[in-house]
Structures are given as structure tokens and as C-alpha cells.
Structure 1
Amino acid sequence: MKKYETEIRVIYADTDAMGIVYHTNYIKWFEAGRNELLRQIGYPYSRLEEEGIWLPVIAVTCEYKHPGKYDDILLIKSWVKELRAATVLMGYEIFRKETGELLVTGTTKHGITSPELKPVRLKKVNPTLYDRLAEDLGG
């Protein structure tokens, strides 16, 4: 399976009173990684929306291993973990780039819907996007 990489630097506003990354920021960085994955396969969110495809988040998991800290450069690895008719499961790992230490693992599950939030079969409505996502499962 192919993993896409994105870098983020932790800014001061991303930390809590203890000086470590506030836990919900990792969910935001999952989105950053997902955005880059989609952009790199030629389907940024703007194109999906133009083509009438939405990917609402329907579930999130996040397991914290080690804390990130101010000014760390984080490496976000994102990939397509599972693709079904009307859902896609994305996987994530976030590392401290300098040391390679794994900080967080997680997933986001997305419905594949119309703008009216009605489920759609991706293979039917956009076979090209389906194939690009499916390619990465075995790559």
C-alpha cells in the first residue's frame, strides 16, 4: 500500500499549558495528510466538490504514543486502508521527523456521498477516482 507524506511544523498555538501538542490537533493533521493524498492523486477536495462527491467523516480513531512538542517538524503518513462501495477508510501515522519517533496512529472513515449526503457508489459515479484509490491499496 502506498503511503503519502506531508510535513507540518508545530506552532506555539498547537500546544497546551504543559507545552505539548494539544490532542485534537492530531485529528486536524490527519485532514492535512488526507488533503495532500487526494491532491497528489489528482483529486483535491475542490475537484471532488465540483464533481459532486463529498467525503464526510463518519468515524475517527486516534492512539497517542508519545507527545509532540513546540517547533517539532512532524511527518504525516497517510494512505488508503480500505475502499468499499460507498466508504473509504484512511490510515495515518505521525512521526517526529528529527528522531523518527512514532507519535500517533489513527484512522478516519468517510462516507462517499452526494452533496445531499446520500451514499453513492464511487465505482459507478467516478470510476477514475475509484481506480486511483484502489491502486494504492496494493501498491
Structure 2
Amino acid sequence: MKKYETEIRVIYADTDAMGIIYHTNYIKWFEAGRNEFLRQIGYPYARLEKEEIWLPVAAVTCEYKKPGRYDDVLLIQTWVKEMGAATVVMGYEIFNKESGELLVIGTSKHGITSPELKPLRLKKVNPALYQRLTEDLEK
């Protein structure tokens, strides 16, 4: 399984009154990791939209391990965890880049749909993208 990496620096607005990263920001950073993952495999969201392939979020999990803080540089690792006929599950780990500490693990499950939200069998409608998503699939 290949993990794709994205870096984010925590800004002050990302923290709560205790100076700790506000919990919902991790979900936003999962999306940032997913966006960069798709860009790195040659299928940024803009391309998918032109090809009328949508990836609406169906579910998200997030397990908090350690707190991150203002000005930390975070390393977001993103990969394909599971692939169905018309769904994909992405895996995420977010680390403090400097210390190497694991802060969060999570997943997001996405339908693969048309703009009308009708399921698409990706293997049929875009075999090249299907192959890119499955070639590094977590075993």
C-alpha cells in the first residue's frame, strides 16, 4: 500500500481556547489529503468534475490519539483502504511532522456517482482511474 503525503501548518484559527487543534479541523485535513492524493495520481477533483464523476462523502471516522497545537506542521498520509464497485474508502493518518507522533487516524467512505448522484461503476466508466485507485490498494 502506498501512502501519499501532504503537509499543513496549523494556524491560530485552527485551535481552541487551550491552543489545541479544534477536533473538526481533522476532517477538513482529511479532505485536503484526499484532494492532494487525487492530484498526485493525475485525477484532481476538477478533472473528475469535467468527466462527471463525483465522490460524495457517505461516512467519516476519526480517532484522536494525541493533541496537535498551534504552529505544528502536520503530515497527512492518505491512501485507498477499500474499493467497491461504486464506492471507495480512503484511509488517513495525521502526524506531527517534527516529533513523528501520530495524532489522528481515520477514514472517509465515498460513493462514486454521476452529478445526479446515481451510482457509477468506476471500472466501467473510467477504467484508467479505477486502475490508479486499486494499484496501491491496502492489502
**Do both share a fold (TM > 0.5)?**
yes
Aligned equivalent of 1:55: 55
Opposite residue 106 of structure 2, the aligned amino acid is G
Aligned residue runs from structure 1 range 74-113, under 5 A: 74-113=74-113
Opposite residue 26 of structure 1, the aligned amino acid is Y
Residue deviations 1:4-38 (CA, integer Å, cap 9, x gap):
00000000000011110000000000000000110
Aligned residue runs from structure 1 range 1-139, under 5 A: 1-137=1-137
Query: Gaps (5+ residues) in structure 2?
Result: none
Deviant stretches of 4+, over 4 Å: none
Report how far residue 60 of structure 1 moved: 0.2
Query: Gaps (5+ residues) in structure 1?
Result: none
Opposite residue 44 of structure 1, the aligned amino acid is P
CA RMSD of aligned residues (A): 0.9
Report how far residue 47 of structure 1 moved: 0.1
CA distance in 1, matches of 2:138, 2:19: 40
Number of residue equivalences: 139
Opposite residue 124 of structure 1, the aligned amino acid is K
Residue pair 2:12, 2:70 contacting (<8 A) in 1 also: yes
CA distance in 1, matches of 2:94, 2:138: 22
